[in-house]
Structure 1
């Protein structure tokens, strides 16, 4: 099946420049981790949690570079699924697309509810109110993406800019209460504690693959995507290092479910609760805005390539608004949200499904990079390193890989069903093609 790609030499037609591109990457990667991880990592590793931040940031460089290199050469709404299709064939691509669309999407209610917990904690509400606020958080990203980048772009810029400013304010507010003496002894929990903290920060530094689905919307992918990736690496790295420092030196023993709220109140008593609630809302809306747009573009491309019903394919082209795919994303996110509520609000199983599917996407995406990129180039070497890192992460995921395995089996089943249909007498007669239809070429579907 042919995947329609925009030629590299085509005139740029997208709306995303360096500023918006950097904003999307920062939102996708910085994410809700700032609300939980700094004090949680300090709890398991002590001051050495700073090493965990540096280590995971270093691991992020080859992953980010790999997806940036692929996105610049093949800017398409299919993102990683497109790269896998070109390198490993349609069945692997279908599995990769399903992992991201159906598996990674499980993270939507997690993001919404983590943000809601902070907002409700500021208001002094109860768990049912957390569910209500979380559901409300899902609406703005769906609405802004339904309008398209004309609205979603400026909103994303405002959200990300506010996020960065507020992170700075949080750090500045906490610094007067910081005690550098808390950095000693440094390895209070040994190297095993550093490893535990690093595994937590994998969630924090994930997201480099999300913006690849919007690569076709960049005005100049070959120049803008690598620069936006570099900007995001610097911003996200500095943000987590700064937050980790104040978490270790200002609140080394915090066990609060809303630790960032306590952190800010060390320097801004009273006003800190309001500030953190604003931060939580901004982070939540920013992350959901970036991911919902990516999910919708991927869904439309899966419909275009025959891996989802053709009805959802409208808007897959650069500049198109995938409103039908957005409807599917809204249904999926709502269904997952309902399951979270029905199971008592325990987010851990959904986080594990999300991360296991993301690791599977990383593994196939890195393997595709090794096949597609020029051997010996910086992108190719990044892909080789990323393959090794993805294998390590897959080993850590353990039995949680059952979800991506199940989705892969569904992808194989869909391919087999399509082969059976293609061999039926009716299919052999050949469907009539309208004047605007696009002939298929290349490998057989499935």
Structure 2
């Protein structure tokens, strides 16, 4: 899940800083040179393997533990086609963001890169503010989704059903909010350790489950009809998120002009393997609809090695969800300090605690809604995706303005823009949220100007 912020410190669905987006546009349009900092230009900087590890932590988060199964519950084995399509879209999207970054980067690309910057440089300050508002107001509903993912695995381990899941989700979200009130930092080292543990869990579960694969589960490939692939695609939207984080890492990679394409290519292969190692065993072991469970990886492990599997999966899922939620809220808080208007009394910028109030309130509201209804994780993901898809379309479309026409980067951005724009179809009614947010931002801006 992508959130604009200055530096990526947590595991997950990729985050980028958009606070300084209004500074974009200082570089002439059509330039695509790679700006390399002193750190990356010399011998220092991340090697290819270290950079791949960093990219994987930005792209793959706890959503991989649940969302492929949630998509299978909507479309059966046909959800594998939706997953493959989104992974294919990731290829031009990942490289397009690198080209766009090169066209808009300043002398400090790792500090001032982000989606708001791209949209502002291409379409103006007001469009950039709308994109930032979609993130700040539309994306926080993803925090309850992360908490519910962790809670589902805790429930699978200790029992208690929905009550235990909600209790664990409230605990995860509460700790994440309190952590962001007290500190502005989250541990990058912890994030890397957790990401490695996630990879080991996923690949280990896939390997030990091989004797329990049942190919006959694929025979009825579209049990809910071909059109079921549409809602399944929206549920899997988080597969795309995180690639915009690549703009944050350009200055961290040793010799980025030469290494970056290789790093992104290897990362794409790793991400594809991880999602395949989750989605295929879930259907082949648990059945066409992935067993209808909210903790599918734990269920696959349980089928292979018995009761201890649930406890291992629960511990990792809960810690991953907490780490991701802390980073998620921290980045939204950072975005809010630049997005919200200055204090009227002093004229100073919004403080971090005040900037945290809105995403914290949306998080609490989402968990309250989950507590009084039977809404599952996929619904919260789809609401979040309703705001994410327009932001991605706007950011990739900015490449068509900023990049030299008919250059390799321009063609990459064109393919990515068209492919991601197709996701507006399954977004359907969830686009009401970004529409209302955009109208609100425009009304406020007009009122301020008057």
TM-score, normalised with respect to structure 2: 0.77
CA contact (8 A) 1:356 1:401 kept: yes
Change (3 A) 1:361 1:143: same
Q: How do residues 284-433 of structure 1 correspond to structure 2 at under 5 angstroms?
A: 284-302=321-339, 311-312=348-349, 324-325=351-352, 327-328=353-354, 330-345=356-371, 346-347=375-376, 350-420=380-450
Unaligned runs of 5+ in 2: 1-20, 28-34
Q: Which residue of 1 aligns with 2:311?
A: 274
RMSD across aligned positions (CA): 3.6
Q: Note the alpha carbon deviations across 1:375-414, whole angstroms, 9 max, x for none.
A: 2233221211222123322233223212111211222233
Change (3 A) 1:341 1:198: closer
Shift of 1:38: 3.2
SS class of match (1:339): helix
For 2:231 and 2:361, how far apart are their aligned partners in 1?
32
Aligned pair partner of 1:67 in 86, 97, 112: 97
SS class of match (1:257): coil
Q: Which residue of 1 aligns with 2:38?
A: 11
CA contact (8 A) 1:104 1:354 kept: yes
Q: How do residues 29-44 of structure 1 correspond to structure 2 at under 5 angstroms?
A: 29-44=59-74
Shift of 1:297: 4.2
Q: Note the alpha carbon deviations across 1:180-221, whole angstroms, 9 max, x for none.
A: 344446566664455554443223333333x26845874669
SS class of match (2:242): coil
Q: How do residues 70-81 of structure 1 correspond to structure 2 at under 5 angstroms?
A: 70-73=100-103, 74=105, 75=109, 76-77=111-112, 79-81=114-116
Corresponding position: 1:56 with 2:107: no
Shift of 1:98: 0.7
Change (3 A) 1:182 1:232: same
Shift of 1:358: 0.3
CA contact (8 A) 1:299 1:312 kept: no
Shift of 1:83: 0.6
SS class of match (1:201): helix
Q: Which residue of 2 aligns with 1:259?
A: 296
Corresponding position: 1:159 with 2:194: yes
CA contact (8 A) 1:72 1:215 kept: no
Instruction: Name the count of aligned residue pairs.
Output: 405
Q: Which residue of 1 aligns with 2:3?
A: none
For 2:102 and 2:347, how far apart are their aligned partners in 1?
27
Q: Note the alpha carbon deviations across 1:131-164, whole angstroms, 9 max, x for none.
A: 4422332435874897667x62212111111111
Shift of 1:167: 0.9
Change (3 A) 1:58 1:418: same
Q: Which residue of 1 aligns with 2:285?
A: 250
TM-score, normalised with respect to structure 1: 0.78
Structure whose alpha-carbon radius of gyration is higher: 1
Q: Note the alpha carbon deviations across 1:50-96, whole angstroms, 9 max, x for none.
A: 33322221112122222232234423446100111111000000000
Q: Which residue of 1 aligns with 2:214?
A: 179
For 2:367 and 2:254, how far apart are their aligned partners in 1?
43
For 2:221 and 2:82, how far apart are their aligned partners in 1?
12
For 2:392 and 2:348, how far apart are their aligned partners in 1?
28
Change (3 A) 1:84 1:11: same
Change (3 A) 1:59 1:13: closer
CA contact (8 A) 2:75 2:222 kept: yes
- Please say which of residues 60-69 and 293-302 is displaced more in the overlay: 293-302
- Please say which of residues 72-81 and 355-364 is displaced more in the overlay: 72-81
Unaligned runs of 5+ in 1: 314-323, 421-446
